[in-house]
Amino acid sequence: MDAYIVAMLVFAGVYALMALGLNVIWGLAGMVNLGLVGFFGLGAYATALLTKNFLWPMPMGWAAGAAVAALAGGLMALIVARLRGDYLAIVTLGFAEVIRLVASNEVWLTNGTDGISGIPGPWRGQVSPQEFNLIFLGLVWAAVGVAFILLARISHSPFGRVLRAVREDEDVAAVAGKPVLWFKIRAFALGAAVLGFAGALYAHYNAYIAPEGFAPLLTIYIVLALTAGGVGAMRGAIVGALLVVLLLEGTRFLAQVIPGVSPVQKAALREGIIALSLILLLRFRPQGLIPERTRTRAKEAS
């Protein structure tokens, strides 16, 4: 049981990192990004290829994963600079699909739909599976901690305030003399870097990645995590990720104790419970569990 909880906390940590990354792009800068799994995948593939084929040390692989994703994020922001709302959502969703299709078709590079297996992990094989889990738990949550502190500071810095201004009204921000595009690019690159880093950690934890793992399902989980936790608040992202993993996993046990339910019904019930709880949450607490708080008070200004 404890091994299982540790493993799920590792997953929660990875999801929390992703939610944090998304929060910079969507929560702060207000750009809908449904392509987050694409950046996640870029990070995962970058580190997997570099550490496995070129024997790079793992920390450098992670850095490379974050860097590649950041670069792609910056480019992406440049391309979609004039898009907002639904249009932006569709383009980013398309971006993630492109990454997945490239990963499944460029067989020479990514080994196609077979995926890449045997990705090294820190001390994997030298320690027991449970110790490996614990090492990774520490690693992932340390990363979450660092990312949280950095992003929370950024969010309250002048940079973060400009991003919020851009989110609320681009034209006003531009009139105030802020180079909106440049801010957007930086926000996108920063968020994508965190996403790529999460992907890199994930690749080394699972030891195996394949294009199917980067399907939109994961994007939806993370978007839900952020919505549930509270868009804009960094703490909300972490709480939301924990909540989503708790929902995904807790429903296994919940459905198990209901008598007279066959495993097939259980599987359907699980998805039902997850959907229902999120609908209820959005209905009765649309601002999320931890709403965004800013130091400036809107009321006084008006």
Q: Which residues are at the interface with another protein (CB under 8 A)?
A: 1-5, 7-9, 11-12, 101, 104-105, 107, 112-115, 117-118, 129, 141, 206-208, 210, 212-213, 215, 217-218, 235, 238-239, 242, 246, 248-250, 252-253, 263-264, 266-268, 270-271
Least distance from another protein to the Cβ atom of residue 118, Å? 8
Q: In DSSP terms, which residues pair with 124 in a beta bridge?
A: 127
Q: Cβ of 50: how many Cβ atoms within 10 Å?
A: 21
Which helix (H) or strand (E) is 208 found in, with range?
A: strand 208-209
Q: Which is nearer to another protein, 2 or 300 (CB)?
A: 2
Closest CA to 192 of 20, 14, 13: 20
d(CA 288, CA 237): 10
Q: Which is nearer to another protein, 188 or 205 (CB)?
A: 205
Closest CA to 231 of 288, 281, 153: 288
Phi/psi region, residue 119 (left: phi>0; alpha: psi -120 to 50; beta: rest), is beta
Q: Which is nearer to another protein, 5 or 176 (CB)?
A: 5
Least distance from another protein to the Cβ atom of residue 292, Å? 16
What values do phi and psi take at 59, rounded to 5?
A: -60, -35
Asked if 232 contacts 28 with a C-beta cutoff of 8 angstroms, the reply is: yes
Token pair in block for residue 40: 């996640």
DSSP single-letter state for residue 120? -
Asked if 31 contacts 82 with a C-beta cutoff of 8 angstroms, the reply is: no
d(CA 5, CA 120): 23
Least distance from another protein to the Cβ atom of residue 40, Å? 11
Least distance from another protein to the Cβ atom of residue 155, Å? 16
What values do phi and psi take at 116, rounded to 5?
A: -110, 120
Q: Which is nearer to another protein, 181 or 261 (CB)?
A: 261
Least distance from another protein to the Cβ atom of residue 283, Å? 23
Q: Which is nearer to another protein, 267 or 273 (CB)?
A: 267
Q: Which is nearer to another protein, 81 or 207 (CB)?
A: 207
Least distance from another protein to the Cβ atom of residue 199, Å? 12
Least distance from another protein to the Cβ atom of residue 3, Å? 4
Q: Which is nearer to another protein, 187 or 243 (CB)?
A: 243
